[in-house]
């Protein structure tokens, strides 16, 4: 019934009314145990929890970005940028020189983790993860996993937020 009402409002060019019935249609499908499959109900339930059908996504995106900002500052950024060290040998009488460049594994800091410099680096990681980009920062193992998780979640929440804002401005 909600679907038919939504369609009638859309055909009559009444976008605000159609949006209200669209929300109602999704709610009815989410609660219907007879005609809606369990998988579809699960998907609708996840969509409802995450974004309120697109209306809460900006809040979740902001919360996720805040978590992505704080976690690298605490656990993901190394104490100091790993230094590259080059070693090599010069053959007697000259000739070709070969260098090996090694980089130490990043280590977590033991002192103050919440400084301005670390905030700036964490902010770089956060903003790059929203648009699927790697920050290029040297990260600890925990930082690498934090960045990977945020690069998966934040663009999806951004897309839901864009859809939600688009639906609201269409009214």
| Residue range 121-165, pLDDT digits in tens | 888 888 888 877 777 778 888 888 988 898 888 888 888 778 777
Sketch the domain layout of the chain as residue ranges. 1-53, 58-80+110-165
Residue among 39, 65, 26 at smallest CA distance from 158: 65
Q: What is the pLDDT of residue 105?
A: 65
| Residue range 3-40, pLDDT digits in tens | 788 788 878 887 777 777 777 777 787 888 888 888 88
Q: What is the pLDDT of residue 67?
A: 92
Buried b (16+ CB within 10 A) or exposed e, 15-49: eebbbbbbbebbeebbeeeeebeeeeeeebeebbe
Distance (Å, rounded) from C-alpha 47 to C-alpha 45? Answer: 5
N-term to C-term CA, the chain: 22
Task: Write a three-state SS string for the chain.
Answer: CHHHHHHHHHHCCCHHHHHHHHHHHHHHHHHCCCCCCHHHHHHHHHHHHHHCCCCCHHHHHHHHHHHHHHHHHHHHCCCCCCCEEEEEECCCCCCCCEEEEEECCCCCCCCCCCCHHHHHHHHHHHHHHHCCCCCCCCCCHHHHHHHHHHHHHHHHHHHHHHHHHHHHHCC
Average pLDDT over residues 102-130: 78
Distance (Å, rounded) from C-alpha 129 to C-alpha 121? Answer: 12
| pTM (global) more than 0.75 | no
Q: What is the pLDDT of residue 15?
A: 75
Residue among 78, 76, 26, 75 at smallest CA distance from 52: 26
| Residue range 90-103, pLDDT digits in tens | 777 767 776 667 66
Tokens 């976008």 -> residue: 15
Q: What is the pLDDT of residue 118?
A: 83
Report the length, in residues, of the chain: 171
């Amino acid at each position: 019934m909600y679907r038919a009402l939504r369609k009638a409002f859309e055909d009559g060019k009444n976008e605000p009314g159609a949006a209200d019935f669209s929300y109602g249609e999704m709610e009815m499908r989410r609660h219907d145990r007879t005609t809606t499959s369990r998988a579809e109900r699960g998907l609708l339930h996840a969509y409802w929890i995450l974004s309120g059908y697109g209306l809460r996504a900006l809040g979740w995106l902001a919360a996720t970005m805040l978590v992505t900002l704080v976690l690298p500052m605490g656990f993901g950024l190394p104490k100091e940028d790993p230094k590259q060290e080059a070693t090599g040998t010069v053959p007697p009488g000259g000739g070709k020189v070969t260098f090996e460049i090694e980089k130490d594994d990043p280590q977590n800091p033991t002192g103050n983790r919440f400084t301005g410099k670390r905030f700036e680096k964490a902010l770089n990681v956060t903003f790059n993860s929203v648009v699927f980009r790697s920050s290029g920062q040297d990260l600890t193992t925990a930082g690498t996993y934090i960045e990977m998780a945020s690069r998966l979640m934040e663009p999806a929440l951004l897309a839901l937020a864009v859809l939600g804002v688009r639906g609201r401005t269409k009214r």
